[in-house]
Amino acid sequence: MKEEVFFGESMPKVKKEYKDLYEAIVHLNEAVYTGKTLDYKTQKLIALGINAAVSDERATKKQMLSAMKEFNASKDEIVDVLRMVLLTAGMPPFVKAMRVLYELKE
């Protein structure tokens, strides 16, 4: 499975104890990342934009780390995503995401 961002530490337990839920989540995850036209990187940047827009700082951090690790996303690329957050979700989510980014890069 490609995407581990939302799965965190509880997922192994969910897999063991609630196998039906786990399998449905894995299935969904595979389906959403099997886009027909957009590449994986673009899809991940969109997910990052959404996580940041709703001020989910934990998911934002995980998406940033994953973007840096999986396809070597630069700080400028991530800031370009956050520009859209500033436009469509306003200053507070933008500032939070910038703080997360700076904490990661230091």
Out of 15, 65, 70, 79, which residue is the one contacting its own copies (CB under 8 A)? 79
Under rule CB under 8 A, which residues in 33-62 are in contact with its own copies? 33-38, 42-43, 45-47, 49-51, 53-56, 58-59
Indicate whether 72 belongs to the interface with its own copies (CB under 8 A): no
How far does Cα 30 stand from its chain's mean position? 15
Contacts of 2 (CB under 8 A, 6+ apart): 29, 30, 33, 40
Q: How far apart are CA 45 and CA 41, in angstroms?
A: 6
Q: How many residues in the shown chain lie near its own copies by CB under 8 A?
A: 64
CB of 42 to its own copies, least distance (A): 6
CB atoms within 10 A of CB 101: 19
Indicate whether 31 belongs to the interface with its own copies (CB under 8 A): yes
Burial of 27 from C-beta contacts in 10 A (0-12 / 13-18 / 19+): exposed
What does the binding site for its own copies look like in residue numbers (CB under 8 A)?
A: 3, 6-11, 13-14, 18, 20-21, 23-25, 27-38, 42-43, 45-47, 49-51, 53-56, 58-59, 74, 76-77, 79-81, 83-93, 95-96, 98-99, 101-102
